Every structure is written in C-alpha cells, then in structure tokens.
C-alpha cells in the first residue's frame, strides 16, 4: 500500500508534464498561424489579383495597426454615444 501511494505522486507529475507540453505545442502552433512567431503564415497570405504568376505577398504589419486604430476609434465613439444616452435617460 505504501509503494502505491508513493507512485501516485510520480504519475501525477508525469501527467502534469504531459499536459504542459501539449499546451505549449498548441500555443506555438496558434502563434505561428497568426504570424506572430516565425514560421509560414498560411492564413495571412494574400494573392494580388493582377499577378499572373500567383506570387504570395504577406500584408505589412502597418495594415494591422491601422485596423486596430480604427477599431479603437469605433469603440470610443460607441462609448461616447452610450454615455450621452445614459445622461439623457437619467436627466429629469
């Protein structure tokens, strides 16, 4: 009985180690697909319509920054509108 209790701790550690390795591999794959970590960003590749040869061009990171700024501006505008609506509703 004593040896079984001691082995239970080792089995738990091995299972925990295996879980950490799996999460690490899944995280690495996800980051590669997003193009954040080195690797081939297959989903982000864009083919230009006028190019007959079909060369693959990766969009520059500046486009992502512009999208993020536009989204931030839209969220701020919605927050301002919601604030005005709440002020109007609470005013007598």
| 38-67 pLDDT per residue, tens | 655 554 555 555 545 555 566 677 778 888
Report how many domains make up the chain: 2
Q: Are residues 68 and 27 in the same domain?
A: no
Q: Which domain holds residue 84?
A: 60-92
Identify the bridge partners of residue 47 per DSSP, sorted by sequence position.
56
Q: Are residues 35 and 20 in the same domain?
A: yes
Q: Are residues 8 and 51 in the same domain?
A: yes
Structure confidence at residue 21 as a pLDDT band (50, 70, 90): very high
Length of the chain: 92
Q: Are residues 53 and 77 in the same domain?
A: no
pLDDT confidence of residue 57 = 62
Q: What is the pTM of this model?
A: 0.37
C-alpha angle 8-17-6 in degrees, rounded to nearest 5: 15
Q: Are residues 46 and 65 in the same domain?
A: no
- Enumerate the H helices of the chain as residue ranges: 2-34, 61-90
Structure tokens at 2: 């004593």
pLDDT confidence of residue 70 = 92
Q: Are residues 54 and 64 in the same domain?
A: no
Q: Are residues 51 and 33 in the same domain?
A: yes
Q: Among candidates 39, 40, 41, 30, which has minimal Cα distance to 64?
A: 41
């Amino acid at each position: 009985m004593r040896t079984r209790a001691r082995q239970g701790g080792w089995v738990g550690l091995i299972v925990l180690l295996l879980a950490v390795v799996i999460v690490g591999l899944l995280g690495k794959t996800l980051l590669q697909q997003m193009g954040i970590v080195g690797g081939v960003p297959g989903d982000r590749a864009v083919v230009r319509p006028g190019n007959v040869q079909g060369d693959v061009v990766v969009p520059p990171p500046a486009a992502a920054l512009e999208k993020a700024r536009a989204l931030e501006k839209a969220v701020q505008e919605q927050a301002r509108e919601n604030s005005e609506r709440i002020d109007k509703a609470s005013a007598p």
